Structures are given as structure tokens and as C-alpha cells.
Structure 1
Amino acid sequence: MIVALYPGTGSAELKLRRNTVKVSWDDNPKRRSPHEPRIVKHGKQPITAGTGYKIQQFSLSSGRVSSMQKYAKALVGLWLGLFGPSVGAARAGFSKALVGLWLGLFGPSVGAARAIGEELAVLFHDNKALAQYCSLPILRDCADQKRDKPRPVLPPSGMPTLAVTNFNVVCSVLGGFITLFGLVSYLFKEKFYLSEALISLLAGVVFSPPAANFVRPLEYANGDKLALEQITLAFSRLVLGVQLVLAGVQLPSRYLKREWKPLSLLLGPIMTTMWICSSMLIWAMVPNLPFLHALAVGACVTPTDPVLSNSIVKGKFADKNVPKELQKIIIAESGANDGLGYPFLFLALYLIKYTGEGGIGQTGGAGKAMGLWFYETWAYTIILSVVYGAVVGWTANQLLHWAEERKFVDRESFLVFAIALALFILGTCGMIGSDDVLACFIAGNAFTWDDWFRLETLDDSLQPTIDMLLNLSVFMWYGATCPWASFLDNNVIPLYRLIFLGILILAFRRLPIVFAMHKFIHQIDEKRQAVFVGFFGPIGVSAIFYLYIGREFLHQLSTGDVERPDAEALAETFDVVVWFLVICSIVVHGISIPLGKLGFYLPRTISQALDSTRESEIEDIEEPRSFQIRRRNRNRREQNRSGDISAPHGAVLNRGTVIPAIKEDTAPSSGRSTVVGRDIGTIRFTADSISRVG
């Protein structure tokens, strides 16, 4: 039950099952200064309620007071959404019960009080915020009224001073989630094979405004949707930049130069086909969508995401099932094609700008659009970023070599050097307007061109730790900022078509072309691996990045204060389609591995349980042949092109010396290891040391 107190003069009486609440108010500016503290009276005891509404009387009468007496001297005020920068409080002394009346009177905030055991809730609110929460007629009547913003007033003496600010709430929520997730991270990631992106996305949904309302992105942007877009774009840039520098560092020496043929196939015909297939499917499924608009939307979901790709190239599942060379080519492709999404996106955007709606307010037509695409997108954005990234990466490598030889750099600064390099490139490339994402990947690979930094940091966990923190934070942010309501209510596409579009994109965007060309990519040895690489081309952070790059471009097409109709329609299509496809990819790719393993293990486990003649228990069940991605009993010797030599168990090395190896099942994040039998491991020889790996 809610009583709304709003400006004016009047009174209200609310009858509950046990109590009757009588409230009267007077907000006549002639009688009292607008900023003078209001006085609330209960019986003979005055109550200072703060600078909110001028409440003259607050009384509570009841024929049965015993239910309140058992809460004597107890703070039973429960507050709803303490968003504002200031909170007032009131103290009522009926039946020796301390009831907090939390008045959230500043900004878009809500304050409320509730007596435990009673059906009583009093809502105090300013008019601006009432307009956002109008659900009762009494609220709608006062939604359009305006009043001066009151000055903050400290709570009465004796009351605790709370600081429920946005910063404190965000720190509590983010820190609490990461702490709780860390307690079960090994179980979720290495036993259940669930991706941390899916888990953090679900956490963001739980804490978002439609749910618990702990994380409020729009309020952090002061209610400005354009500012919220800029925040999300900057956050995505930060995560991509750090991820791509680390991806470049992970690749072996001169990898881009040595593997240019398979990479050219993946980044050339395969990526172009992915763009065309995605655009055709979007054009077919979204009603009344121009083909140029479909090309722009398809460009956003064309690049594969390096953040989500980590779930299939790292960890226990990848170590057991994905060959090392296949892991490397997936990392290289996802890193390079993130920056190469610009040409696909801006080809469509330039054509829309100069030819859409008759090129309103623009001159030059399609010729100018193609000219801009060549010299601004290709020359300035792509080629310049490649050159800049290579120069900065090589220079950073030489400087770090020089400092390390003279013992000028400590270990902590050495480990964090790659992350600092990512921040530097993001800032400088962003200022000159070039492709900072592609520059970060090129710089990371150039930085470890001689393989020195990669080998020096191979066993350190600082970079994976920073990587994990960024991943958890960004996907929690996506869960809170995703326009969930627009999937049901929009002017673009009905929900059933949207779901069908998600299925088609995941099935036909990448899988057919990779399967058709896998024979030309030597890292893909067989059809099973081609299906795996074709299916796991996730859509994630890079799609959100290009979504807001596109929206930023569309905002510039407005004529004066009027936005072009086609630009406005395309912006809504961006929001609905791209966000939905990102959510589909996170969910489907996040649960594919656990569902796949469950589908193969469950029948076998049931048959073993029903087999009464089988007495021995199998501790570690080997993956069935139909699920394995790595070939069995591969007799050929795998040569690690980074300089490592892999030798099978019992190999004769150095004039007959037999070196056995025991495979260890190691949790990457926890450092624990357990021997799982006499499985064959490999021996890695480097110039400085010999280490055993599983």
C-alpha cells in the first residue's frame, strides 16, 4: 500500500487491516520557505523530516498495537532504491518503535519506509522521478509539476549516516560477484565447461534495473542515452585492446609472417562470405529492411570475438581436445578480423549517407562514398593502424630489451608492460582516429616477434588474471545495459522472427564456408575439426563495439535537430538485431560444450550403471570417438614452430636417453594438479630450461 506525498495542500487517510494512516500536507510557498525543513508531528513529538514535502501531520492509530511493540528499539525502515546523493530520515516514537522514513528527495531516486509486520509503505519522491514510476493515478497527477531542488539536510542526531552511493553499490556488487565466482570458478570452467562470459552475463541480468536494480547504467550516465552509448563503446574498446595485445603476445615468433596463407584465406574469402551470408539472412528475416541497412548490420556480427574464443582455446577442454596449431590459428583469426570489420561496416554506412533517402544534405553521391571508403577507411584507418602498431610494438620490444639488460626494470613492471602498451595504443590511436583495435593486435605480435617476452612470461598468471577481471566486468555490464524490453516491443522485427534469425545466423554465417575451404587450411586436418572451427565463431564484444561505432556515425547524419528517417530506423535495427545475436551467441556457445559432453557421456554412464557384470569403476572416461576434436594415436611428431619440440613418452633422445612423461591435469587458475594415469605428455625444450607440460 502506497501513500504518495506531493506538492499542494491536502490530506489522505489509508485504512489497513490493523491500522489507519492519516497524512496531511501543506506546500504553500507563501506560508513557508521552499527550502525550510518540514515538520512532521506524531502526537506531541515533532519529527524533522528533511527538506522534502511539507508534511504537517503523520498519525497512526490502531486497535491492536502489540504487533508493533515487539519491534521496540529496532530499526525497521526498509528503503527502496537509495540512488540519490542525499538521504533524509525521520524518527517516530510510537510504541517505542524506531521507524526509518527514508526520504529520497534528490534526483531520480525513491525513498520508502516499511514497518515490519504491517502493510504500510510510504513513498517519498520528487516530481521528476515520479514521472518515471507513474503507476497510480495519484502519481500521474503530480508527475508534471515542478519544484525547486531542495538542499540536502543531514539526518537527525542519533541516526546512522549511510552513504549508499553508486560507487559503493557497484564496488559491493562487482567485488561480491567476483569473490563468489572465484570460490567455484574451477568447478564451473574446468568441470562443467561453462564460460565465464555466460555466467557474468547472467549476473548482470540479475543485478540490472529490471531485476535487483543494483547496477543502473542509465543513471551513471545522468539519464543521457548518448552518454551511455559512449560509456559502453569505451568499455568495449578497453577490453578489446587489452585482449588483442595479449592475443598477439601469445602467438609464437613471426607467426603472422609464417602463417600468412591460411590467415589470408580466413580474413579474405571466408570473412567476406560471412559478411554476405549474415547480411542476406538479416535482409530476408527483418521485414521492410533495405539491403544497404542489412549490409551494415551484418558487418557488426561478422568478426569472431577474441574474448569468447578464449573459452575454446584455453583450459582443460582445449588441452584435451583442440590441437595446439588449431588453437593458434583461432587466436590469430579472432584477433585480426576484429580490426578488419571497419571496411565492411563503412562501405555500407558511406553508401547510406550519400545515397540513402536521396542523399539528404549530402553531395557527391556514390562516387564520393567509394572515395571515402578507399582513402579514409582503407588507407587511414586500416593501413595506418597496421604500420603504427608494428612500429610501436617493435620499439617497445627494443626498449624493454635495453632496460632488462641493464637491470632497470623490476619484475612487476615487466609483467604489466604488455597491458600498459595496450592502453597507450588505445589512447594514441583513438586520438588520431585510426583503428586502435587492429593496431593493438599487430603491436602485440610485433612486441613478441623474437619470442623473448612470450617465453619470459609463459608461467606467470598476471596477464590471465587481468584478462579474467575485464571479461567478468564487461559481460556483467552487457547484462545490465542490454535492451531486453526492445526484443519484445520494437518496430523492427517480431520476436519469433528474431529467434529464427538467431538460429540461422549461428548455423549458416560461418560453418558452410569454413567446411568448404578447410582443405586449404593445413591446421584443420579433418572434417570434425572443420565443423568445430565453423561453429565456434562467437559474436561478442567486437559486435557491440561495431554496433556503437555505427550508431555514432548515424548520429552525424541529422539535419539540424532532425535526424534522418533512414538513420533513425537503422539505429533501432542495430540495437535490436545486434544485441539479440550477441546474447544468442553467448548463451549457445557458452553451453554447447557442456551439453555436448553430457549428450555423449550420459548414455554411456547409464549403460555402465545397468551392466551388472561390470565391477571395476572407470575413474577417467576417455572422450568417445565421435566427440573428440583431436585425432587419436597421431603417429606423426608434432613440431612446435615456436622452437619447442614435442616428444612422445619413451622417446629416445640424446643417444638413447629415454625420457618418460606423465600427463598432469592442471587447473590453470588454481594451480592444483592431479595425476590421471600414465597418459602421455610432452617434453618442451627451450633455450634456457626444460619443462614438463600436459
Structure 2
Amino acid sequence: MNEQPFFGANGYHLAMALVGAGIIAAFWLPRFFSGREPAASALLILFGIAIHWILPDLSRTLDPREAPLFWELVSEMAVVVALFGTGIRIDNVTDYRRWLPTIWLLVIAMPLTIGAVTVMGFAFAGMTLAGALVLGAVLAPTDPVLAGEVQVGPPTEGGEHPVRFALTTEAGLNDGLAFPFVYLALLAGTSGLSAAMLGEWLLVDVVYRIGVGVAGGALVGWGLARVLFVIPRDNVLADTASGVLAIAAVLLCYGATELAEGYGFIACFVAGVVLRRVEVEHAFHAELHGFNEAIELALTAMLLILIGATFPRLFGELDWAHAAIAVALLFIVRPGAGWISLLRTGLPWSDRLVIAFYGVRGIGSIYYLAFAASHLELVNEGQIWATIALTILLSTVVHGFTAGPVVDYIVRRRQA
């Protein structure tokens, strides 16, 4: 009979130990150097890269080129949890003027970003039109998961600075609004672009799916609010229930909206916003948000460690053209498109600059690329994954270590 040695190394258990230790270290070590809440995203990725050299079999097993479904499902859950929590955070939605920067970011900056990345991929990196459009679509959204440093605070905290409000609402909506462009790329790669196809895309993937996403989110948010705060009036659920209802709401909202062929990402954000409008100052909103945020952080930390573990394998496919696209997106395309879109908003130039620059890229891009890769045979899929990986790494380093101090400075200057 073959027996395992008493202290035999089990790769799976070793991976669990290393991931857990890496997450703890990433949140603990920065406290020696900063009095702020640490921006741990970049460190989580770096610890993941270190794990790759210790356990190369782990990165081989989780290579997104070979296992896109894993990345699609896990990143999907992280994004929908983050979107619902983002909606709950917003204290004041009644002043339409506060939404003007968000609207222009979505209507102008996002299409400009998609167009610019598509042109760079097609003209300079030698990508197919479908592949370039996929790259533009998956890199366009501002990530709701990694953008916590620049978003508004927890529910009922107040003091929502225009910069934080714009970046929060943009992150809440543009993850869902990137989906029509991903579908357009899939259609371009399967049937080619034509007037009839564009008309159907506009009707189904833009009008219908967005409409169902908004309606589904509003309906679930309103219904959940009635269950939590209104019925029965003398024994409401919010007085006794736990924050686990936040996850239940996410699952219900996302699943029901996707069954109706709407955009679940939009629905989760809208549900959080609508839920918050009932009993606005109730303490249970903070409990919902706290539980939701704990799940979000746990999923995100694990994802970033695993992403880092796969980076060395992906970087082997990276060439100068695709690396230049990642750098240009973060330092030229997004800041330029954001600045142009905010020109007529009346915001001070410093606020416009911060909003334009801090378009954090992250988990949402992973989801969209994994989704596209599972539905379309991409000619240069490895190079696209490598470009996404480099973009996320640069964004977590540049945005992660600077966003908190910069946005705090803008807020303090406004208060002064």
C-alpha cells in the first residue's frame, strides 16, 4: 500500500497557504510606511507574481487562455457585488447637475476611448478589426472593484465631493455600458459589419438590453426596499436581519435581469441606488454595505493574487506595439478623452484633471475579455490578454499609490 509521507507537500494546500499569506502581507506591510488605509492592489499582484515562481503549476492551470470560464465566473461575481455596493454608497442623487460630468464621461469619453484603442490595435498592432474592437471595449470601463480610493464613502457619511461622485457613478454605469461594444466586436468577428447587423445591434444590444437592465434593477431595488423597510411596518426585516441580504439581492437582481436578456451589471448598480432611496438614513444601509464590501474585498484580493500568478506566462506574448497601447491608454487616451468630455461641466480645471486621469482599469476588463474569448475565436488572444495584464498592473501601481492622496488633497482644498 502506497502511503503519503507525513510531511508530504501538497500543491493545492501550499497554494492556499501562499495565497492567504500574500493577502495578509499585502494589507499589513504598507502600514509601516503610511498612516492611510493601504492601497494593496499592486502588492497583491506582486505577491501573485512571486507565487508563480514558487508554484509554476498553479499559473499553468489558471492560464486565462486555457481556462477563460474560471476567470469569467469569478470576475463576474466580483464586479456585480462591487456594483451593488457602489449604488448603495451614493447619498444624494436628486441634483441632476451633479450627474452632468458622469453623463459626459459615458457619452463622450467612453466611445472616444474605445475608438482610439481600436484604431491603435488595428493600425499599429496588426490586430483584426474584431480583436481590436474587443481590446477597445474591454479596456474602456472604469473599474468599480479597484476604484475604492477615489469613490464616495460608505452610506450616510455625506460630503460627496464632485470628483468622488463623478468617478463613483461613472464606475457604476460604464461597466454595463461597455457590453454593447463587446457584442459589436463579437458580431464583427462572426458575421462582419453591415447596415442590417448594425441596426439589429442598436435595437437589441443597445436599446433593449440597457432598458431591461435599468428597469430590472429599479424593480428589484424597489421590491427589496419594501421587504426590508416597509412590510410588515411593525416588524421590518431591516431591524433584525444580517447583511447577507446584500448578496441575496445581488444574486436575485443579476440573475433575473440576465434571464430577461438585460445587462445585469447595470441592474445591480441601479438596484443599489433605488434601494438606498427608501429610508435613506436607516442604519441598515451601512450594515448592507459593510457585508457587501467584505465579500467584494475577499473576492478581489484572491483574484489579484491569482492574476499576478499568471502574469509571467502572459508577458511572454507581449510585444512593443501592445505594450504601447496599454501605456497610451492610461497616460494619453483616457486622460485626453476625459478632459474633452468634461470641458462644459463647469468643474475647476484641477477637478477635471483628476477625474480624467483616475480611470482605474481592473477586474471588469478581465471579465469582458474572458466572456469574449469564450464566444469568439480571437486570432491574437494571447497578446490581448498580455495587454490587459500590463494595463491592470500599471493601473494598480500608478493609480493605486497616488489616487488616495491626490483626491484627498482636492477634497481638502474645496473644504478650505
Give the TM-score taking structure 1 as reference length: 0.53
Contact 1:487 1:576 in 2 (8 A): yes
CA distance in 1, matches of 2:327, 2:27: 32
Within the alignment, does 1:289 sit opposite 2:116 as a pair?
no
Letter in 2 for 1:201: I
Match of 1:381 among 185, 209, 215: 209
Q: Does 1:569 align with 2:379?
A: yes
The more displaced of 181-190 and 502-511 is: 181-190
In 2, the alpha carbon distance for the partners of 1:194 and 1:500 equals: 29
1:481 aligns with 2:310: yes
Query: 1 CA distance for matches of 2:209 and 2:263?
Result: 5
Partner of 2:369 in structure 1?
547
CA–CA separation in structure 1 for the residues paired with 2:25 and 2:44 = 11
Offset from partner CA, 1:510-564 (integer Å, 9 cap, x none): 2123223434335x3x11121111111011111111111211220xxxxxxxxxx
Q: Which has the higher strand share?
A: 1
Report the counterpart of residue 174 of structure 1 in structure 2: 19
The question of whether the paired residues in 2 share the 8 Å contact of 1:248 and 1:443 is answered with: yes
Give the conservation status (yes or no) of the 8 Å contact 2:147–2:360: yes
**Contact 1:275/1:302, CA 8 A, preserved across alignment:** yes
The equivalent of 2:136 in structure 1 is: 298
After superposition, residues 74-85 of structure 1 pair within 5 angstroms as none
Match of 2:183 in 1: 346
The residue that corresponds to 1:212 in the other structure is 54
Query: 2-side partners of 1:444 and 1:580: how far apart?
Result: 32
Matched with 2:271 is: 443
Match of 2:113 in 1: 274
Give the distance between the partners of 1:283 and 1:240, measured in 2 at CA. Answer: 29
Shift of 1:373: 1.1
Higher deviation after alignment, 539-548 or 444-453: 444-453
- Other structure's SS at 1:569 match: coil
Using a 3 Å threshold, how does the CA distance of structure 1 residues 458 and 236 change in structure 2: closer, same or farther? Answer: same
- For residues 350 and 266 of structure 1, the distance between their equivalents in structure 2, rounded to whole angstroms, comes to 25
- The 3 A distance-change label for structure 1 pair 207 and 454 is farther
Change (3 A) 1:180 1:264: closer
Q: Could you tell me which of 504, 510, 522 is aligned with 2:334? A: 510
Pairing 1:72-471 to 2, within 5 Å after superposition: 153-155=2-4, 160=6, 164=10, 166=12, 168-184=13-29, 186-187=31-32, 190-191=35-36, 195-208=39-52, 211-213=53-55, 216=58, 218-219=60-61, 226=66, 228-255=67-94, 259-286=98-125, 288-313=126-151, 324-355=161-192, 366-402=194-230, 405-407=233-235, 409=237, 413-450=241-278, 452=280, 455-458=283-286, 461-471=290-300
Counterparts of 1:284 and 1:454 in 2: how far apart (Å)? 54
Amino acid at match of 1:160: F
Aligned residue in 2 for 1:531: 353
What is the distance in 1 between the residues matched to 2:110 and 2:321? 25
Task: Describe the SS at the equivalent of 1:304.
Answer: coil
SS of the counterpart of 1:510?
helix
Gaps spanning 5+ residues in structure 2: where?
A: none
In structure 1, what is the Cα distance between the partners aligned to 2:187 and 2:211?
19
C-alpha displacement at 1:432, in angstroms? 4.8
SS of 2:54 mapped into structure 1: coil
C-alpha displacement of 1:506: 1.2
The residue type paired with residue 176 of structure 2 is G
Cα distance, 1:445 vs structure 2? 0.8
Larger RCO (CA within 8 A; separation ≥ 6): 2
Q: Say if 1:418 and 1:444, in contact at 8 Å, map to a contact too.
A: no
Asked if the contact 1:303–1:341 (Cα under 8 Å) also holds between the matched residues in 2, the reply is yes
Gap change, CA 1:224 and 1:271, over 3 Å in 2: closer
RMSD: 3.4
Q: Which residue of 1 aligns with 2:395?
A: 585
Runs of at least 5 residues in structure 1 that lack an aligned partner in the other structure: 1-49, 51-152, 356-364, 555-566, 598-622, 636-694
What is the one-letter code of the residue matched to 1:206?
A
Pairs aligned (count): 411
CA distance in 2, matches of 1:572, 1:531: 33
Output the amino acid matched with 1:309.
A
Paired residues of 1:245 and 1:419 also in contact (CA < 8 A): no
**Cα deviation code 1:475-503 (max 9, x no counterpart):** 11211233x33433x3xx62x33333322
Q: Distance in 2 between matches of 1:505 and 1:297?
A: 11
Q: Determine which structure has the larger helix proportion and give its number.
A: 2
Q: CA separation of 1:405/1:325 partners in 2, compared to 1, >3 Å: closer, same or farther? A: farther
Give the alignment's TM-score, normalised by structure 2: 0.85
Shift, 1:433, TM fit = 4.5
Deviation, structure 1 residue 343: 1.5
